[in-house]
Structures are given as structure tokens and as C-alpha cells.
Structure 1
Amino acid sequence: MKRFLLTTALAASLALPVHAATPAEGETLAENQTLDFWILDAVKTLDPHKNTDVDGAHVLRQLFEGLMNEDEAGAMVPGIAESYEMSDDGLTYTFKLRDTAKWSNGDPVTAEDFVYSWQRAVNPETASEYAWFMELMNIVNATQVVAGEVPPEELGVRAVDEHTLEVTLSTPTPYFIKTLSHGTTFPVHRATVEEFGDNWTQPGNFVSNGAYVLDSHDLGVKVTLSKNENYWNNAETVMTPLNFITINDQNVALTRYQAGELDWFDRVPAGQFPNLQEQYPDQAVAIPQACSYAYLFNMSDKGPEALKDLKVRQALAYAVDRDIITDKILQGGQKPAYFWTHWAIEGFEAPEIEMAGWTQPERIEKAKALLEEAGYGPDNPLSLTIQYNTSEDHKKLAVAVQQFWKAIGVNATLANYEWKVHTDRLQNQDFEVARYAWCGDYNEASTFLDYFRTDGYNNGKWSNADYDALLAEAKTAENTTELYKEAEQVLNADMPFVPVYHYSNAMMVNADLRGIPYDNVMYNWYAKDLYRVAE
């Protein structure tokens, strides 16, 4: 067995926090340690096994703690697990859990809690939209459990004793450890879930094991958290309370930040970052973030017949002027996208995409010719509906795409929906073309590429056997670089979506706030590691 200590030192430091809110030399903690953080949309659920949203993940990361966390650079560091062993064949991981870890009600956090929770995540009765994540982790029998072919009790996870958890994989998975900071792997408190059913996430019922507890949740307005006095490292946690404030309009959110009502505001409105950088050089920051923005085509039986034609999909993809979107509209450090995986993902090598080398006039010319070949023109115009969720930025981009498509003879109608309705329609294939973004769940290219597997999340229901085979091969390959490039080429050749841009997170951060993980492309942050300094 290969043994790993999840600390920066050796065994002597196992009982110490790897990362905490520790002021640097010369810094003094401010008296006020409140954090007011902006979120765009209402948090639909505080059940970590049912959440699918980035904003929800920010909240859940404070309430729950899995086996692993991430540091400011994205490296995996101890969470509930203080060490682990991996078998020589790479199929068995044995985690030693902290014996000091407790739930917010004082109960100990045990290996059995993880067994119950992981079985719950894959149980079809839970109806988790992220059950497939356990399949990507390659846990033994995960696929069969998700499909309802075997009971959840046959998932490859067991409690050896109260503080020892054993996980068995079906194939060696180099990125397995990187998946363990994801919300789907978080434990939930069994007695609470069983007592309250769907109401277990309500304030007053809620029991969690992270650095914070739930005080209140006013849906679509604010979620408030405070320190969990039973958290194993509570003595090193500084910030409290945390307020996650929902503001659907980014311009309003910016105004409230400038008025001092928010401490941290990410996703600065399109076009405003350059001016903000001049006005607030100590507060305006732009960092790469592992998300890719796209327009999905509905290729299911419920989708429009026109989108079944590759020539139409290619024409629509060619016509989008990504340079205008990134350089003229967004202006926050985003990069034009011609492939799916974010360029900054660890170990990823970008494929060579032919259309990326064309000028925009060349793309427009080719797009018009393709539409004509597909049978569309002035006497038979193509009409489509572009769906997007409420946001001034999403609206600006949808209007731009509408104009790009108009230039090649396509009539696009815009349809705006609130986030929950938008995602429900996506999941039910009730759309034609839809704005979408995928943010990586772990720092490896498969987190992007697995989305488009036939049985992946894949809201557009595109299916390609060659693509599936490449990703299946990549699961056991020693070197995945070329396989991932080939997968990107298959995506590009079949064009089930329009890649638009790779994210940069342009944000405004109060000058007294410290500990934000600017070097973590996953943008996974923990309030327990943050603090405010006195001026």
C-alpha cells in the first residue's frame, strides 16, 4: 500500500490545520469579520446531493466538508480525511478520518456517514442530477446502482471501522482524489434526513459538518450562515456571519458593492472591468476560471429538425464573432473558445481547430454557403429561438448572437427565463438553442469532456459512439493527452454546440479581505480560510 499524509509536513502536523485564516506578519484582524457575498440566482437547494449550481456550491462548501478540500492554488488538502492509503493496483483507497470531526449537533462524523451519503447520492430514489458524478469517480457498481440494476448497498464503499473508510474503484483513476472536494461527495446527517425528509434542509432542521451552520434561508433574497461551534477547526475560523445575497441584476450588484453593501462581487458586468480597474486598482481582479460558455443545440427528438443537419450547426457556429464578444462586449480577460475544455485546466493541451485559423469574413462566407446547401435562404429562412436565463450579460450576448445569425440569414427570437425555469427546460429538452456554461467539477479535462458523453449530463442529448469510446479508453489510459485532443476534434466535427468563450472571473473584492484563492482555476473558496484586516 502507498501511504499519503495529507499535510505539508509529516505525521506531527496531522492534527493541525493545513489552511486557516491566519494573518500574515504585520497584519491585524479587523473587528468586523462579516462577509457579504453576491450571488446571481436563488439557491434552489441546500442538499449537496441535489445541487447543480455554482452559487449553490459556494454556499454548500461552507456548510459541509468532504474528505478533501482545496488550497489557494487548487491543490488537494485535508478535509475530514487526515491521511489515505492507495493499493498498489490503484483500485482501493483507505481513508483515515479525523476523530475530532463532529456534526453541528455534536454527533461524531464517521465512516458510516460517508457510506450512507454516497449510497444516497447514487440511489435512484434520491433523483440526484449529479448521480453520474459517482460514475465518473469509477466507484465499483456506481453505474449499476444509478441504473437501478443493483441496490445502493453494493456501491464500492464501506466503513472498516468508525474512522476508516474504504473505497474500491473499478479501474485506476488518476484524478480520483481531485473529485473528493465536490459537493456530491459530501456527507449528510442520516438521522436528520430520515426524520425530516425533504424538509431536512430547512433552518431549524439543518445539521451540517462544515465550518458553518445555516441560520436562515430567504429564497431568492439571502442565505445567512454563522460559525459551527462543533467544527473540528472552529478555533481557527474567523469570518462570521456569512451573507449570500441574491441580486439578479449585475449592474445593481455593482452599485451595491460600490455603496459598501457587498464585500465581494464576482462576474463584473460586461464591458465595465477596464474602467473599474482604473478606478479601483486595489479591488478589481481578473483570474482564469474553469468554465466555458456556449450555446447548446437541442438534438433530442424534441429539438427542431433543422438542428439535425450538421451543415446548419456548423453555419451557426461559424457565424458567431467571438472576438467581438470577448474584446468589445465582455472586456474582462475572457478568451475566445473554439473547443470545449477550458484552456487553463491542468495538463490540458489545446487541439488545433481549423475554424480558429479563419478570419471572421471567411467564417461568414462559409456559413452562408452551408445554409444554402442545407436548403435555407431568403425564400426559406431558418428561424430559431435562443433561450437564456435572467442576466443583463446573457441578454447582451444573446442579442449579439441574434445579430451574428441575422447576417447569414437566420431569424432568431430571444426567450428569457428565470434560472430555475431555464434549467428545468434544459433538463427536459424544452428548448431549441440555449445559453449554457459548464464549470469544471475537478481540475482535469474529463470534467468537461464527460459532459457530452451519451449518458453524461448532456442537456442537448447529442450522441456519438466514437466520442464515447475515446472517453472510455481515457479512463484507463496512462497518457490521456492525445485522447482528449481527439475527443475535442470529434466534438468540433459534429458541432453539438457553439463554443463561445472561456471564462475569466472579473471581480471586485474589498481591499481588506484576505485569503481568496486567486490561483485556483476551480474558484473553490472556503470562508474558513478568509479574514478581514484592520485598516
Structure 2
Amino acid sequence: MTFMKLNLRAALLLGSLMIGASPALAEMVLHRGNSGEPQTLDQSQTSIDIEAFIVKDLYEGLTVYDADGKIVPGAAESWTVSDDGTVYTFKIRADAKWSDGSPVVAEDFIFSMRRVEDPKTAAGYANILYPIKNAEQINKGKLPVDQLGMKAVDDKTLEITLERPTPFFIELLSHQTALPINKASFEKNGADFVKPGKLVGNGAFKLAEHVPNDHLTVVKNENYWDAANVKLDKVIFYPIDDQAANVRRYEAGELDLVYNFSSDQIDRLRAANAKQVHVTPAAATYYYPFDTRTEPFNDVRVRRALSMAVDRDFLAKDIYNGTKLPVYSMVPPGLETYGEPAKPDFAGMSQLDREDKAVELMKEAGYGEGGKPLNIEIRYNTNPNHERVATAVADMWKKTFGANVTLMNLDISSHYAYLQEGGKFNVARAGWTADYADAENFLNLSVSSNKTFNYGHYENPEFDALMKKSYEERDPAARSKILHDAEALIMRDQPIAPLMNDANLWLVNDKVKGWGDNANNEHLSKYLSVE
């Protein structure tokens, strides 16, 4: 009888201990609102931030950005640079492994980057690796892929030779295009290598489930070299491009993070909990490209007139509640290696004077009052803020020129796919966030050979020559002068109308720890936890 009482007491004690321990054993899950469905999880094909947020959780490059947006070692624990700045030697971590347990080796990066430069891959971002020796020639079909300037000294030592010194090369290697893929999985599964159950990554998480337009789930990768310091067990990305729905689900406690929300909600959200509203100035530009292949947008006078008639102060203050800044330059301010961006000659005019000059230019081109009718379609990706901007710009052009302006919107994936695949348009909404903190990253968008991101198909041999010269110039001051001269040409010709500098808008629940605001908008889930 005594023995049975002792056993019963022990069982009750064990049960109470298990109940007390259950919160500590509970799965730690982060729910991320991600603003849209990714077009792809293939590193060679990604181009927008909502894809980068996911693939950078699944794969790790040689370098990564930390929570504060500073570049730090990733899969490479260290590196050295030759005296002439053209040879980088990376030491890959001894304990770096793929999610299937196999070691990450130098050949993995060589295989992946050769694939990006292989013209058969048709990688939209192949040009980002052009600093590597022979990369551009390979991508243009002039050399075989085995001529790429990369060599495995041994399994854990990777040597990369550049065409010329590239000050931003370490930052560039954190871009998703430079992420490795698992050769064995790719050769076995082909295009399906990005699917759950087949994707083998080397990042802090691995892909568990992907239900398009509903959710994508990643779980902790137990084979990740720093798994001991990864606190989250699971991250669920929700591709919600309806910003109002995002905010509702956040306020209902269903989402811990929300990327992008309607700026007209800022005051209300701040009043409810100011600490949870994160508005961070970004190295990013909001702009309207013109399709220079079609009339009348092939006329520089028309493009300049349309750009001059846009009241950027109104867009930034009245539509975005001061969360963006009005700009007239493609390169955002604040880049240390560049300084003050180049501006068009009309930037210093008052808005009224700009409008008067714009009417003169438009009449000179034969459009507007007394001339040919001006029909314009503005395309934008579905988003209430973008709709408000497009509506406001349409009204400005109607009042200034008597233009007939219509609007067309598509979801974010379809919108950018249409532009990147060369679809014809009149005017389109676009945004560019720095891949690395250098003016070249913004100016390269207008190089004629950039078939993916030169949406308006602008061609100017003088501009192309200056950009080429900038790659060959090693003196920082001289290089900056060349880039300023190149930007001045774009601002003169207005193939794009820069409108505002962006801000990164996030809602971050108080229970999310490890968050860091940064202009690069880099937020790896490996640094986060949930209380």
C-alpha cells in the first residue's frame, strides 16, 4: 500500500514538472507578412526583396548582412585580398554543411556562379557577377563557363579573380545571385530543385512547405554551422499583397512582422503603439521609367516635360505622410563613395516654373493644347500607395497638358515579370533598392546591355562608354566624377523620372527580439526570436 502511494506521488510530481516545462519546450514560430508571392526560389532568377527574404534564410553566401545591416562573414569565415585588389581568397568554414549533412565546399560556389553566367540559364541578375574575370564574356556566349575566374585551391579554400579592383565586391557576394546551390540536388531534380523535399540549402533554415498564394514554411536546419544560436524553430511567410489585410492580421495577432503597409495608416498605428512602427530611410529610389521604344516617349522633350510636371513634394508629403523624400536623381543621397547625386537642370525651379517650362516643351514636341492628343497608360503593381501615386500623377498630367491618362495594375510578380521580359508600355512604376552601397548599382540599370532592368530600353552610347570607363578607373575620386557625369546624362535625357527616395516600412511586434533597422533592409530570420 505504501509502495503504491509513493508511485502515485512520483507520477503526480513528474506530471507537474512536465506541465511546468511545456512553455520552454514549445515550438518558437515567427509569422512574417511578406507583401506578395515570390516568382521563384531559384537564386539565378530572383530579383525582388520578397524573394530575397526567403532565399537568404534557405541559403548562405560567402558573406551576409547582420541584423544592423553590416557585412560580416557567412559561409566563409575569413578572406584575404591581393595587393592589387583583384584576387580574393576565401576560407570556407570547416563546419559549413548542406541541409542533407554533406559538406559545403569551394566547388559548390564555382558550380553555382558558373550556372548564373551560363547564357542558357538566362539569369536576370547575371551582370551583378560581372566583376569576376571573364563573367561578362561567358554570359554573352563568347567564352565557355569553365573560364570563369574562380578556382578551388582545396575543398575549403576558394580563390576568385576579378577583371579589375571592385571596392564593393564583398558586399556584392551577399546578394542572392551569389548564393550557392547544391549540385547533387540540382542534377537530380532539375528545375524542381527549389521544391519542398528536394531543396537542399546551406542556410539557417530549410524549406518545409510551399502553398502558392497562401504560405511558405521554413524550419530550422539542424546541420547549419551556427544552428546552436538560431532560436526560431519555424518561420511562416505569408504572401499577402493586400496591405489592409496585412495590417488587420497583424493587429489580430496572426502576424509578428509585416513588410510594407499603407502610409495613410502610419498616424493611427503610431498612436496605437509607436514602438512597433518602423520607418527606416532606405538606399532606394521610387521612379517612373518611360518606354523609349514607343511614341511619343522616344522624344526627350516629352519625357522631360512629363517629369517636370510631377509635383514630387505632394507625392512625398501628402501621399506618403513624409515617409519618403522628393528627389530628382536616380542615385539616392548618402552613399559615402559618391556624395551629392547629379540632378537635372529643372531641379532647382519652383513647381510653377517647372510646369510652365513643361508646357512649352510639350508644345514644341507637338503635343498638348493645339497639338496631337497625348494618351498615356500608367502601369503599377497592386498596392494602395502606388495607386494613389499613379492617380495623383495622372491628375497632374491631365491638368498640365490635357492628357488622357489611364491606369493599369497587376500583382507584383506579374508586373515585374512583364517589364523584365521586355513588354511594351508607356509609363510604369518601378523601385530599386541598393544591392550594395555604390552608385553603380543604380546607374547600371540604364546601360543598354542591361536587358532585364533597363525597362525603358534607353540607349545612349556616351552613357554606356562612361559606365565602362568607371569600371576601369581605380582612383575613387576620379571614378566618382565619371559616375556623376554618367548620371548627368540620364537626368538630361529622362528615360526615367526619379520621384522619391523610399523608406522601409515594417510593423514589428514587441515580442520579436533581435530586430535591427537598417538601410539595406536585410532581416535574416536567424537573428530573430519570439518571446
On whether the aligned pair clears a TM of 0.5, the verdict is yes
Cα displacement (A) at 1:350:
2.0
Cα displacement (A) at 1:280:
1.1
For the Cα contact (< 8 Å) 1:319–1:363, is it kept in 2?
yes
CA deviations 1:366-394 (Å, max 9, x no partner) are 11111111111234221111111111221
Mapped to 1, the partners of 2:436 and 2:195 lie a distance apart of 29
Mapped to 1, the partners of 2:317 and 2:24 lie a distance apart of 39
Cα displacement (A) at 1:83:
1.0
1:179 match: 172
2:362 paired with 1:371? yes
Aligned pairs for 1:511-526 within 5 A: 511-518=510-517, 520-526=518-524
Aligned pairs for 1:125-524 within 5 A: 125-135=120-130, 138-300=131-293, 304-351=294-341, 353=343, 354-379=345-370, 380-408=372-400, 409-427=402-420, 428-456=422-450, 457-475=453-471, 476-479=473-476, 480-518=479-517, 520-524=518-522
Larger radius of gyration: 2
For the Cα contact (< 8 Å) 1:425–1:431, is it kept in 2?
no
AA aligned opposite 1:488: E
Cα displacement (A) at 1:101:
0.4
AA aligned opposite 2:458: W
AA aligned opposite 1:490: L
AA aligned opposite 1:521: A
AA aligned opposite 1:335: L
Could you say which structure has the higher helix fraction?
2
For the Cα contact (< 8 Å) 1:274–1:332, is it kept in 2?
no
3-state SS, counterpart of residue 264 of structure 2: coil
2:527 paired with 1:529? yes
AA aligned opposite 2:348: G
3-state SS, counterpart of residue 263 of structure 2: coil
AA aligned opposite 2:439: A
Cα displacement (A) at 1:528:
0.7
Alignment: residue pair count: 500
3-state SS, counterpart of residue 349 of structure 1: coil
Mapped to 2, the partners of 1:291 and 1:101 lie a distance apart of 33
Mapped to 1, the partners of 2:433 and 2:407 lie a distance apart of 24
3-state SS, counterpart of residue 355 of structure 1: coil
CA deviations 1:505-532 (Å, max 9, x no partner) are 12211012122231x2111111111123
2:9 match: none
Mapped to 1, the partners of 2:376 and 2:73 lie a distance apart of 49
Choose the corresponding residue for 2:60, options 55, 61, 65: 65
Mapped to 2, the partners of 1:529 and 1:39 lie a distance apart of 17
Tell which deviates more after alignment, 438-447 or 184-193: 438-447
For the Cα contact (< 8 Å) 1:295–1:433, is it kept in 2?
yes
Tell which deviates more after alignment, 475-484 or 120-129: 475-484
Unaligned runs of 5+ in 1: 1-27
AA aligned opposite 1:390: T
Mapped to 1, the partners of 2:68 and 2:278 lie a distance apart of 16
Cα displacement (A) at 1:30:
11
3-state SS, counterpart of residue 485 of structure 1: helix
AA aligned opposite 2:56: R
3-state SS, counterpart of residue 285 of structure 1: strand
Seen in structure 2, the aligned counterparts of structure 1 residues 525 and 445 have a Cα distance that, compared at 3 Å, is same
Mapped to 2, the partners of 1:274 and 1:494 lie a distance apart of 38
Cα displacement (A) at 1:395:
1.2
2:4 match: none
2:66 paired with 1:54? no
Cα displacement (A) at 1:59:
0.3
AA aligned opposite 1:502: N
Runs of 4+ deviating beyond 4 Å: 28-32
Mapped to 1, the partners of 2:24 and 2:81 lie a distance apart of 40
3-state SS, counterpart of residue 429 of structure 2: strand
For the Cα contact (< 8 Å) 1:273–1:506, is it kept in 2?
no
Mapped to 1, the partners of 2:58 and 2:137 lie a distance apart of 30
Cα displacement (A) at 1:449:
1.2
3-state SS, counterpart of residue 285 of structure 2: strand
Seen in structure 2, the aligned counterparts of structure 1 residues 144 and 331 have a Cα distance that, compared at 3 Å, is same
Mapped to 2, the partners of 1:56 and 1:367 lie a distance apart of 39
For the Cα contact (< 8 Å) 2:67–2:524, is it kept in 1?
no
Q: CA RMSD in A?
A: 1.6
For the Cα contact (< 8 Å) 1:290–1:342, is it kept in 2?
yes
AA aligned opposite 1:478: D
Seen in structure 2, the aligned counterparts of structure 1 residues 30 and 384 have a Cα distance that, compared at 3 Å, is farther
3-state SS, counterpart of residue 375 of structure 1: coil
For the Cα contact (< 8 Å) 1:516–1:530, is it kept in 2?
yes
Aligned pairs for 1:91-110 within 5 A: 91-110=86-105
Cα displacement (A) at 1:126:
1.2
Cα displacement (A) at 1:341:
1.3
Tell which deviates more after alignment, 110-119 or 371-380: 371-380
Cα displacement (A) at 1:133:
1.1
2:78 paired with 1:83? yes
Aligned-pair identity in percent equals 37
AA aligned opposite 1:481: S
CA deviations 1:86-136 (Å, max 9, x no partner) are 11111111111001000000110000101101101111111111111111x
Cα displacement (A) at 1:332:
4.8
AA aligned opposite 2:235: L
